[in-house]
Structure 1
Amino acid sequence: MKFGFFSAAFLASTIVNAAVPIDGWYSTLFGGYSYLPNNLNVSYAGYLLTNSSFNSGYNAGGRFGYKSNPLRFEGEFTYIHADVAGFKINNVKQSNEGGDASVPMIMANIYYDFPEIIQSIEPFLGFGIGYSWVDVDFTSATPSPNIIYNNSNSAFTYQGTAGLTFNYAEHFSLDIAYRYLGTDKIGYLGKIFQANLFTVGATYRFDGNRYK
């Protein structure tokens, strides 16, 4: 009971003393869960490869930017990885498949921070454009003959973001976000590459004295 009381008191004190950012430089580190939908519909060596699925993946990266309330402008690097769970060859599901998708990307983003919904909690929306290096690898031995399909290329990339920021201290904040990203159609995949990212980030503000 005492632990619960002191935890609640600490949280309340943190919120009361939290800072709302006005402007300044910042950097962010983040990571989280990645879900990749079907990104494959291509002919290769006389076979039709389709219906890819992936295991739960991860993403990690960093951002550096400037906030001029209510806007934020930043550069971002993200790395996405997920292992292949399955795919079809000539509409036959493979039973001994493997492979993965690895995607480093560089983005330029702009965000709009909405007014607080409760003290120190700000919703935000964002949009970004940039380039990704999409590297995919699909392998299968059964029931079809051995197939090894590996290719990579760069592609124009866009993303949309929605999330919440918790400004818990003058120099620091935490955020949770959902991001959807897509690319131009990639020839060796026969489709656009897409990913759904769920992230948690921690931000350090360099210009703490410029925050109220």
Structure 2
Amino acid sequence: MTNKINRSLIPAAAIALAAIPSAALADGPYVGVSGGVALPEDSTNAGEFDADVPATPDFGAIPAGTELGWNTQFDTGFAIGGQAGYAFENGFRLEAELAYSEYDVDSHSGLTVGGTNIDGADVAVLTRGPADAANPTVGDVIADGQGKVSNFGVFGNVYYDIETGSAFKPYVGAGIGYQWVDVDYSPSGVAVGDDNDGTFAYQLMAGASFELSDSAEVFGQYTWRDTTEEADVPLTLLPATLGVESSQSIVSAGVRFHFGG
């Protein structure tokens, strides 16, 4: 009986909270901070050899311009951000945001050279060492993962807060900016690529805020963030450049402080 009563109180409490009259946040400037989890999508890395790889007694040459690629799976990471903006009486907000996210590599797979999967080949085909039955395969070496990707972005955002007549306000938004992507790929501890590149980025946001007072509110937000181009990363193990994707979903929570107009 007690459990049934408790369960019935939960939706009633939620309705009561939403019905609390708005504390009438002041229009004008505000600042905020947020943090949460980054959920990166897998990266379909694609690039090409920048120079010829000479032939060896065991392996043929790889000409410059030959396509190279593999897939990378990432672990869940973290994201933090800082915001400064201005809220208008008509529900719109303009905002500048600094955003950082980081996540580890889980594994690499499906290495192709010239469109041919070489996961089952002797790893010496890449290192150009002598072929040996005792050598691990390419797939064995890269499956180990290791490494991380970090992203630092500067965005200009526009939001629209939907007035509900209560302290609870859903909102939607979008932003454009520039993001630096730092890639460290080190499968099995072998430095394959460790560099960074910058490119234009965009994001789409949806969330809800709850007013605590006439100068403070908490919020929860979902963000989809992506770049307009892949980050081009020169490889250290091979004379090649690889394009790395950095699409990610971010689920965050934070607090904003308003200063009035």
TM-score for the superposition, normalised by structure 1: 0.82
* Preserved CA contact (<8 Å) 1:17 1:169: no
Residue equivalent to 2:81 = 61
Q: Give the drift of 1:13.
A: 8.3
Q: Give the drift of 1:190.
A: 2.9
Residue equivalent to 1:32 = 36
When you count strand as a share of all residues, which structure comes out higher? Answer: 1
- In structure 2, relative to structure 1, the CA distance for the partners of 1:173 and 1:147 (3 Å cut) is same
Q: Give the drift of 1:138.
A: 1.0
The CA distance in 2 between the partners of 1:13 and 1:163, in whole Å, is: 17
User: Which structure 2 segments of 5+ residues have no match?
Assistant: 50-61, 120-138, 234-241
Residues 44-95 of structure 1 deviation map (CA, whole Å, 9 limit, x = unaligned): 6668342211111000010000000310001000111000001123353533
Q: Give the drift of 1:195.
A: 1.2
Aligned residue among 185, 189, 193 for 2:246: 193
- In structure 2, relative to structure 1, the CA distance for the partners of 1:181 and 1:54 (3 Å cut) is same
Query: Does residue 101 of the first structure (1) align with residue 149 of the second (2)?
Result: yes
AA aligned to 2:198 is: S
* Preserved CA contact (<8 Å) 1:185 1:193: no
Q: Give the drift of 1:147.
A: 5.1
Q: How many residues align?
A: 199
AA aligned to 2:224 is: Y
Residues 101-131 of structure 1 deviation map (CA, whole Å, 9 limit, x = unaligned): 0111000000011122x72111101011110
TM-score for the superposition, normalised by structure 2: 0.68
Aligned-pair identity in percent equals: 27
- What's the C-alpha RMSD, in Å, of the aligned pairs? 2.7
Residues 164-199 of structure 1 deviation map (CA, whole Å, 9 limit, x = unaligned): 011121111011010001112224443643111101
Residue equivalent to 1:83 = 104
**Which range moved further: 104-113 or 21-30?**
21-30
Q: Secondary structure at the match of 2:247?
A: strand
The CA distance in 1 between the partners of 2:18 and 2:47, in whole Å, is: 57
